[in-house]
Amino acid sequence: MREFINLTLGGVITGAVYAAFALALVLIWRSTRIVNFAQGAMAAITTFIALSLIESGQSYWVGLAVALLAGLVLGAVVERLVIRPVEGGPELNAVIVTLGLFIAIQALISVLFGVNQRAFVAPFSTIGFRVGDSSLALSPNTLFTLGAVLLVMVGLTALFRYTRVGLAMRASAFGQEVARLLGVRVGRMLTLGWALAAVVGSLAGMLIAAEVTFVTPTYMDALIVFGFVAAVLGGLDSPVGAVVGGLLLGLLLSYVRGYVGDELVGLAALAVLVVVLLVRPGGLFSTTQTRRA
Amino acid sequence: MADAGAHGSTASGAGAAGLTRGAAAGGVAGGTATAPAVLQVEGLSAAYGPVRALQDVTLQAEHGRITAVLGANGAGKTTLLRTISGLVRPTAGRVVLGGEDVTRAPVEAMVTKGMAHVPEGRGVIAELTVDENLRVGSLFRGKVPSEEFERVYTFFPRIAERRNQTAHTLSGGERQMLVIGRALLARPKVLLLDEPSLGLAPRIVAQIFAMVRHLVDTEGLSVLLVEQNARSALSVADTGVVLNLGRVVVTDDAARLAGDEDLRHAYLGF
């Protein structure tokens, strides 16, 4: 029973991080119909920037703020300089561009920060709370992780539902041409969408770094796979789906890890991907009835 | 310009000789127009690659009137509206809105300059609610008093009942009401309507056209209406412009066009 509770708690926490990362993918997919394979590398570089600051004596919070800000700028710059030229072209072009960007940014991290493993100290204690004589897979730091992800979700929901900018962004995402005819500056909204997504991605990068405790330039690579599976599971179009998909995947993989074996986690994730694409290619929360392959 | 005029007279040779073919021949200067022009299209040409979709099109939309652009499939009607609003860039010619040359203005700026374009296929954003669709249309104006939204809902009670539902639940007629209502919130000088009858039952088409006519008569709206359904369009329009293979064939009073049998048979299919 204790094992089940701990696996469930662990699943919820990793699921929350998957959810945050899936959310970043969904934000970009919704506005530009691109799966941003560079998301992981973008998050990694902002985390390394934060880590350098923290190592030089700044507090975690300064590092976090700088990471999010760097994400904002990086997302906007990437959209304007790299993505804009291939927008409206064949979909594969944009995919290849993001793959290229992924490789380029990862190389840049190695050049700037080296390829050695570096310790990342979590902002709060990672020692689990104790109930009686057993310890839970729930620590002050995981509570912080959960809280941060929750805050982002609530914030994004509020932004999209209640603000004028959010409405303009949704209009741009769902009806580019109509939105332009209605006077919405669609280009700006797309840039903003990428910037926001990169902020969310950067946050996920920081949270994961604290969970895994050691980071390398490639530490986010596994997460892009899990984040993508979570997004597809929930439906690439749906932010709510990304969150639910992330949590479901986190739980499932946690049970697989605990009851079946650590080595099967990656395989289980791919199995989920295949099953979803076969059975319900739109995902659990898709609003569109059909999706092109 | 002279080209368009020549075509006008060719057509008049076939049918109603001696009628004033004002706007096509006279063009910008106003010709025989009785109302001031809100929108002037002068010698507009557009192409998709090597295919010339519009050639030297000259016409105008007058204040407080409905100008119907008619023609068969592929005559260039939709391209005409898309070129006017900047979605397609013209290869030649000018678009003048309320005296201002807007030919090179960005699409996003058109609505602030007073042009509302309702594209073919209705242009609702199906994922947004009815209310959100209306609000998107007035975003550029900043804060819009809620009475203006209520006025739209009063005018179209059918969509008022569904204001919090997503727009994909609306019927074709309701969608048309929604986009027209949304366009009204932009308070346009001229409303470009692309094929509002498309896919609607005749009864609904009559309703929609009657509403447009009512808005023109009561609110002083000016409409440039593109339609394949020439009979219905001419029944509410003041002026008709017939387009064939990207050129203006004839411009005339709507009632006279409807009464011109040869022309109807040749270009309008009724």
Pairing state between β B115-118 and B223-227:
unpaired
Instruction: Mark yes or no for CB contact B108/A178 under 8 Å.
Output: no
Q: What is the pLDDT of residues B95-153, one digit of tens each?
A: 999 889 999 899 999 999 999 999 887 788 988 999 999 999 888 888 888 888 998 89
The whole-number pLDDT of residue B10 equals 37
Q: Is A162 on the interface with B (CB under 8 A)?
A: no
Which CATH number goes with the domain that contains A198? 1.10.3470.10
- The strands making up B51-62's β-sheet, listed across from edge to edge, are B51-62, B37-48, B92-97, B100-101
Test mutation, B117, B139, B168, chain A, max A CBs within 10 A: B139
Say if A166 is an interface residue toward chain B (CB within 8 Å): no
For residue A182, give the nearest of B87, B111, B126 by CB distance.
B111
Query: Which of A178, A188, A290 would you mutate first to test chain B, the one with the most B CBs within 10 A?
Result: A178
Tokens standing for A11? 């699943």
Distance from CA of B258 to the nearest CA of A (A): 32
Residue A32: inside a domain, yes or no?
yes
Q: Does the residue A199 lie in any domain?
A: yes
Alpha helices in chain B (DSSP H): 2-14, 22-26, 77-84, 107-113, 130-138, 146-155, 157-160, 172-185, 202-219, 230-236, 254-259, 261-263
Asked if residue A227 belongs to a domain, the reply is yes
pLDDT band at B34 (very low <50, low <70, confident <90, very high): low
Cα–Cα distance, B120 to A176 (Å, whole number) = 14
Per-residue pLDDT of B201-229, as tens digits, reads 889 999 999 999 999 998 888 999 999 88
Domain membership of residue A85 as a residue range: 2-117+142-279
Q: Is the Cβ pair A184, B108 closer than 8 Å?
A: yes
Number of C-beta neighbours around residue A139 at 10 A = 20
For residue B243, is pLDDT > 60? yes
Residue A288's pLDDT is: 52
Least confident of A143-147, B20-24, B151-155, B266-270: B20-24
> Could you tell me if the ipTM is greater than 0.85?
no
Please report whether residue A218 resides in a domain: yes
B244 backbone dihedrals φ, ψ, rounded to 5°: -140, 125
Domain assignment present for A132: no
What was the pLDDT predicted at A34? 87
CATH class label, B63-87+100-268: alpha beta
Establish if B107 touches chain A: CB-CB under 8 angstroms. yes
Q: Where are the domains of chain B?
A: 63-87+100-268
* Residues listed for chain B: 270
Instruction: For residues A54-67, give the mean pLDDT.
Output: 94
Whether the CB of B144 is below 8 Å from some CB of chain A: the reply is no
Please state, in angstroms and rounded to a whole number, the distance separating the CA atoms of residues A291 and B231.
Answer: 39
Answer yes or no: is A160 within a domain: yes
Contact A283, A238 (CB under 8 A): yes
A107-112: long-range contacts, CB 8 A cutoff, minimum separation 24: A108/A45, A109/A41, A109/A44, A109/A45, A109/A48, A109/A217, A110/A217, A112/A45, A112/A48
Hey, what are B10's tokens? 């060719």
Asked if residues A128 and A138 have their Cβ atoms less than 8 Å apart, the reply is: yes
pTM: 0.81
Determine, for residues B87 and A186 on separate chains, whether the beta-carbon distance falls below 8 Å.
no
B135 CA to chain A: closest CA distance, Å? 8
- Specify if A172 maps to a domain: yes
Contact A184 B136 (CB under 8 A): yes
Q: Which two tokens stand for residue A208?
A: 């994961």
B31 pLDDT higher than 70 = no
Check if the beta carbon of residue A141 is closer than 8 Å to that of residue A10: no
Cβ-based contacts of B119 with chain A (< 8 Å): 177-178, 181
Is A290 within 8 Å of chain B by CB? no
Residue A161 parent element (H or E): helix A140-162
Establish if A287 belongs to a structural domain. no
- For chain A, the domain total comes to 1
**Which of A146-150, B48-52, B257-261 ranks highest by mean pLDDT?**
A146-150
